[in-house]
Amino acid sequence: MINVAVIGYGYWGPNLVRNFLSAGCHVKTVVDMNENRLFALKKAYPFIESSMDIDSTLADTQIDAVAIALPVTLHYPIVKKALLAGKHVVVEKPMTKSAATSRELIDIALREKKVLMCDHTFLYTGAVRKISQLIKDEQLGSIEYFDSVRINLGLFQSDINVIWDLAPHDISILNYIMEKSPTSIVATGLSHTGNDMEDIAYLTMLYDDNFIAHASVSWVSPVKIRKVLIGGTKNMVVYDDIEPTEKIKIYDSGYRIKSDEDQKKMRIDYRTGDIFIPKIDTTEALSGMVTDFMQAIDKGRKPVSDAELSLSVVTILEAAEKSIKNHGKEVKL
C-alpha cells in the first residue's frame, strides 16, 4: 500500500484526501499551517495524523507520495523539496508559475526517478475523454476552432490573476484533445482592484494551420458559465459543464463554400441537422486522477495529466501574461 501525505487542506485538499482514501491509499499525514483546517481534518478523519510542518512530513521515510494543494506560488519550492526528499508528487494546477521552474522540476523528477504529475482534473472527466475520442475517431472532421468561456463571480485570489486560476482548465483540455501547441498567443485583460492582478482576460491561441483557440476567463461575471464550443468540418460540439447530465451535445451542423462562377462571389450553404447527446462516464474525475497517479507509481505508466502536458499549459499561461502586460502584443512561442 502506498503511504500518502496531502499538503494543503484548504478548499481543494479535502477532495484529494477523500479520493485517496476511497482509492484504498493510506493517507498518513495531512499538513496545513492553519489550525482551523487541521481541526476540520480531525473532525472528519480522526485517524489521519495532522501536522503544521511540511519539512518534517517530507522527512518521514514512511511516506511514499505527496499531493500538494497549496497556493500556486508555493508549488515550485515545495514540489522541489518533495522530489529531493524522494517522494512521488502530484501537484495541483498550474504546475508552477513559470516554464523555467516547471522544466527544472521535470528534470529533477527524471533524475530522482520519481513520478511528477499535475492535477488537471478535467482531463479525467467523462466529457473531455468523450470529446477526445470523437476527435480521434474523426467524427467531428477537421477541427477549426475551440472557444471556451469560464466565468463566475469570484473567488479573487491573492497570489495569482484570473488566467493562472481558471485558464489552466481550458488550456489543459485544449492541449489534451488537440495534441498540438500554438505558435503564438495574443491576450488582453484588466484588473479592477488596483493590484495589477487581472480579474478578466481573453486569450487567443494561434496555430500554424487552419485552427484557432480562444478562452475567456473572469471572476467578475454575475453568472457562472462553463462552456466550450468546438467546431469541426463534419460536426460541432457544445460542452456545457454546468449541465448535470447532458454535458455534451453533438450538432450535425456546418457550412460549405460554393463558388459562384457567374457572379464571382462566394456562396455559403448552411447545414443544421440533428443534435446527438452521447452517454458519458460520470465517475468523479478526481478518482480517475488518483488512480492514474497510483498506476504511474506502481507500474511506471505515463499519467494522462503528465508533467510535459502541464509544462505546455504553463508555457501558454506565461506567454498570455506577457501579452496582457504588453497590451495584447502577440507573443511567439
Ligand X SMILES: NC(=O)c1ccc[n+]([C@@H]2O[C@H](COP(=O)([O-])OP(=O)(O)OC[C@H]3O[C@@H](n4cnc5c(N)ncnc54)[C@H](O)[C@@H]3O)[C@@H](O)[C@H]2O)c1
- State yes or no: residue 33 binds ligand X (CB under 6 A): yes
Residues 6+ apart with CB under 8 A from 262: none
- State yes or no: residue 162 binds ligand X (CB under 6 A): no
Minimum CB separation of residue 225 from ligand X in Å reads: 16
DSSP string, 210-255: S-EEEEEEESEEEEEEEEEEEEESS-EEEEETTSSS--EEEEEEEE
Sheet hosting strand 88-92, strand order edge to edge: 49-51, 26-31, 3-7, 65-68, 88-92, 116-119
Is the CB of 89 or the CB of 140 nearer to ligand X? 89
* Residue from 37, 114, 129, 226 in contact with ligand X (CB under 6 A): 37
Round to whole Å and give the CA distance between 313 and 315: 5
Is the CB of 88 or the CB of 93 nearer to ligand X? 93
- State yes or no: residue 156 binds ligand X (CB under 6 A): no
Q: Is the dihedral of CA 128, 130, 132, 135 positive or negative?
A: negative
Is the CB of 226 or the CB of 250 nearer to ligand X? 226
Nearest-10 crossing angle of helices 307-325, 162-178: 130
* Residue from 41, 70, 135, 215 in contact with ligand X (CB under 6 A): 70
- State yes or no: residue 39 binds ligand X (CB under 6 A): no
- State yes or no: residue 54 binds ligand X (CB under 6 A): yes
Is the CB of 168 or the CB of 254 nearer to ligand X? 168
- State yes or no: residue 321 binds ligand X (CB under 6 A): no
- State yes or no: residue 34 binds ligand X (CB under 6 A): yes
Name the residue whose CB lies closest to ligand X. Answer: 10
Is the CB of 96 or the CB of 216 nearer to ligand X? 96
Identify whether the C-beta of residue 155 lies closer than 8 Å to the C-beta of residue 219: yes
How far does CA 31 lie from the centroid of its chain?
24
Residues 6+ apart with CB under 8 A from 88: 64, 65, 66, 114, 115, 116, 293, 296, 297
- State yes or no: residue 226 binds ligand X (CB under 6 A): no
- State yes or no: residue 89 binds ligand X (CB under 6 A): no
Of 310, 326, 324, 325, residue with least CA distance to 68: 310
Is the CB of 8 or the CB of 288 nearer to ligand X? 8
Is the CB of 130 or the CB of 150 nearer to ligand X? 150
**111-140 footprint of ligand X as x/- string (CB under 6 A):** --------x-x-------------------
Is the CB of 169 or the CB of 251 nearer to ligand X? 169
- State yes or no: residue 73 binds ligand X (CB under 6 A): no
Bond into 94 cis (ω within 30): yes
Q: Are strands 220-232 and 143-153 parallel, antiparallel or unpaired?
A: antiparallel
Residues 6+ apart with CB under 8 A from 311: 95, 99, 102, 103, 106
Residue with cell 478535467: 122
- # of chain residues touching ligand X (CB under 6 A): 21
- State yes or no: residue 10 binds ligand X (CB under 6 A): yes
Name the site residues for ligand X (rule: CB under 6 A): 8-13, 31-34, 37, 54, 69-72, 74, 92-93, 119, 121
